[in-house]
Structure 1
């Protein structure tokens, strides 16, 4: 049984934006409607006790706590600090992070979170004309101005974790990358939109990613970290991955919803209603019970969870079948290739060729 090392706390179930690709609000699973808007103290204290118990049983030296939503900053400064204090009392070595759309990240919020050791990432999809295509308020107004303000506030700050960017192949990839770099991010996460065989994506993702990879990899100095590319390079060189987008490393993440229910990864909400449910709560169950859940066992079983066609592919150890949610087919569950299979293969072959060429150059 694989221990959990990352715990996602859904501190606030609602959001102040209405991004059209959001897997929580816009896709298949609408269970957020039946849950409390904000996590109550009794919930986070119960979760903290369970996390502390899990860390002691499995002798974990590192535990990551992600404050998530919806938009986590809607919980407010006082609630967030109370939660962090309570969790840290039960899990002394916990490391905290949060991912925000930036709308509520002002100087007082930044100071409060940073004082309690919270690392902060901001979601930004490129320059205004690209970002505001998808990440808008409910009345249609774009949100780039607010995200940019937050990133200017974070630039150079020790709490700055980086930028999360969801890929849109209709945008100019190099323009998007260079616009993100104006905010001096220490790291960038490039995410494929959550799609599956019932709702397949359009074309162009491989070309978009390859263009950004070439711009990033060919730079005269290291400008930032891009997790997807770094993980692929590690895998091409025979290493392992810490990402759930590629590779065969077991998933070590679990979600605690605002009402205390324990769920699998949020991304499964993009497939069908109840896909991430376990039937467990932090009030009545420990995390070992969650680790034994068949859905979580499947996500942790690596090669054994791959489709036959994946196992026959020469890069399956690198691809890892792609993101688990992207494998879902309404007639065949999750034992399928990623709906991005062809795109991932082109990207992996390109990254492998660039790395191999550099290694040949070193040897000669």
Structure 2
């Protein structure tokens, strides 16, 4: 704990561990404590500051000059510690180093570029749902739908080879765990770190990718001089790191939401164009990415607190997305709501560059379900998969009425 933080009596101190397994399983009461405490809290268990209110989180995410990402978006402070893997050129870089990679990937993953994939992904979603329903109307929606569809379409879109794709989810799971402290969740994945990292890094080489996917387009940008040849594989790796688990958990979140709020599923069935709004509302409501860190670039005043230069700040995205000062009835999943403005995809220059991909995947899958499934009900007790950063599901038993 810094001397300044100890002396600054105006800053509330919270002694709970945000990464304790019981809080990860059910964070909402803890989030309310943080929001009610004030604009900034000092998290004594970690030795960092925290923000949980929408106003403060949104402002910090958009102020990259004061709250940098380049020192790491996890607990590790890259000013003093060496990352366990090469840092992300998107998540863990600020301008000017962030600019060229972001421009390239924004073009590769933008709405116009995704137009060519739309019809194919809709057909893939139709086939997947038909296959699932042909087997049984009772399914575990996590492996059968939420994991199956992204793993069916996204690696093809990137241009990955078929062999080894089963490594994507455990690699992403460990990466997001590693943004937190070295707890039991990190320890559980430690044995496979070298193997998984080696496989992912190998897939980013030009020679490993098909000539018609996102990866090939990134390498083509290096040929044009938009990025360097050294940057190209790191940008491809960013797709493989953050492009699967986040979408999987977003899809699981929206399916869970419909089982918990059956009236909202009927709204989508009556008007399938609401599928995109439903996904964004689920991202607000469940916040698949719960937290990210920033680092103060100078002594920054927020309310009565001065956060010293170099101190880490934990941004509680999930808490901000349920802040009653920003959202009416925030704990309800409600398709009458306009969820735009949520911070589930981040905000500002580091906002998720792949969000259009995730929305298209969700739209395709939910539309396929809406034309075939009349009701979505729980068929058993859902089980969480705990992760230091992600709000995930291990199992989501659903009964799909036809």
TM-score with structure 2 setting the length = 0.26
TM-score with structure 1 setting the length = 0.28
Structure scoring higher RCO (CA < 8 A, sep ≥ 6) equals 2
The structure with more helix, counted as a fraction of residues: 2
